[in-house]
Amino acid sequence: KALTHAINRDSIINNITQGEQLPAMAIVPPTMFPENEEGYFPDNDVETAKEFLNKGLEELGLSDASELPEIKLSYNTSEAHQKIAQAIQDMWSENLGINVTLDNAEWNVFLDSVNSGDFQIARMGWLGDFNDAMNFLEMYKDADGGNNNTGWEDPEFQKLLEQSQTETDAEKRQQLLKDAEAIFMEAMPVAPIYFYTNNWVKDDNLNDVFVSGLGDVQFKWAHFE
């Protein structure tokens, strides 16, 4: 939690990705949960991060961050991933006094390490196959799930996902998924950074182009004025 709160997402977006991405303080994108533009915590909340760090140090029986073992942040080869990793390394060092090393590997080597659990903290991304919150929550249902590299699972989280699969009332189903996300964000097995965006150039005279929550562009109703 300390590490998650100590990330300045706006800085990463404005200075590195520069695609008007949305800071992520939740796991489900706002196209599925509109309220998730605000998220579950403030971005770059350094004071709260320090509070969590002190609690963690107390649990470990350590007096300050200088006694923590070195933390390794892994990422696959990419100029953007490298810049983001370096920025987060600086944020954790400056905000929390934590010593962080970076570990870069080509995609296949990186993926093998992550899938085998041979990492401390590793970057990863996810693209939805369909515009529903289940697409982002279900991968964390079981610790041994194919896409769950965190090793995290929670019985109440599992129960809510199972209930959502048989709930026929759309609003009640949405609330079950929202309750499941709240459990996930309280446990915080991942540190969300930003939600992806698609960027394009559009003629001002082109109207009625439909873009889905997944970024699919439909020209069926498009026309020029």
Q: What is the per-residue pLDDT across 29-73, written as a single tens digit (0 to 9) for each?
A: 998 999 899 999 999 999 999 999 999 999 999 998 989 999 999
Q: What is the pTM of this model?
A: 0.90
What's the pLDDT score for residue 17? 96
Share of the chain above pLDDT 70, in %: 100
pLDDT band at 151 (very low <50, low <70, confident <90, very high): very high
In the block, which residue shows the tokens 């939740």? Answer: 26
Quick one: residue 145, left, alpha or beta (phi over 0 = left, psi -120 to 50 = alpha)? beta
Alpha helical stretches, state H, the chain? 2-5, 9-12, 46-60, 79-96, 107-115, 134-137, 155-166, 170-187
What's the pLDDT score for residue 135? 93
* Neighbour-count burial of 48, counting CB atoms closer than 10 A to its CB (0-12 exposed, 13-18 middle, 19+ buried): middle
Contacts of 145 (CB under 8 A, 6+ apart): 139
Please name which of 155, 206, 162, 224 lies closest in space to residue 184, comparing C-alpha atoms.
Answer: 155
Residue 122 in tokens: 């590793």
* Mean pLDDT along residues 153-176: 97
CB 64 within 8 A of CB 99: no
